[in-house]
Structure 1
Amino acid sequence: MVRIQFQSIHIDGIAETSSVNRGTNRIIGRRHSEKLNQGLGEISGEHNVVLGGKHTVQDGDTFDVKPSTRKS
């Protein structure tokens, strides 16, 4: 048995599939899929001005997210 103990815990926010559980937990029948694309770049040089930037993320995935099938 693994025991993890915290003196205190701070939760900034709970969203989507987040959960806070205490004690003995058994979560059955829950599924969630999500994909998030992020872009990171840089502008270098001197005296740069960016107005109304347009951004593109090249996503080479042929398959993004499997459709969720949830039983009620």
Structure 2
Amino acid sequence: MVRIQFQSIHIDNLAQSSSVNKGTNRIVGRRHSSKTNQGLGAISGERNVVIGGKHVADDGDLFDYKPFIRKS
């Protein structure tokens, strides 16, 4: 068994299927899969005006999501 001990912990945000558990935990039968594409860019130069900008994420993945189907 692995034991991890913290002196203190600070949590800024819980999102999607995240959780914080204390004590002895056994989580069975829970699955979550998610994918997020983010982009970071810059506009440089002088006197730039952006109105109704369009953003494109070039996602080169061949496979994004495989749903988990539980067989009864």
* TM range, smaller chain: 0.7 to 0.9
Relative CO higher for 1 or 2, CA cutoff 8 Å, sep ≥ 6? 1
Map 1:1-72 → 2, pairs under 5 A:
1-7=2-8, 9-70=9-70
What RMSD, in angstroms, separates the aligned Cα atoms of the two structures? 2.1
Deviation at 1:29, TM superposition (A): 1.5
* Percent identity between the two aligned chains: 65
Equivalenced residues, count: 71
Deviation at 1:3, TM superposition (A): 3.7
CA, structure 1 residues 15+31, in 2 after alignment: closer, same or farther (shift >3 Å)? same
Summarize deviations over 1:2-49 as a string: whole Å, max 9, x none. Answer: 241344x44444332111211111111111110000111111111111
CA, structure 1 residues 70+10, in 2 after alignment: closer, same or farther (shift >3 Å)? farther
Structure 1 gap ranges (5+): none
8 Å contact 1:38–1:57 — kept in the other structure? yes
8 Å contact 1:33–1:65 — kept in the other structure? yes
Structure 2 gap ranges (5+): none
Q: Which amino acid aligns with 2:22?
A: R
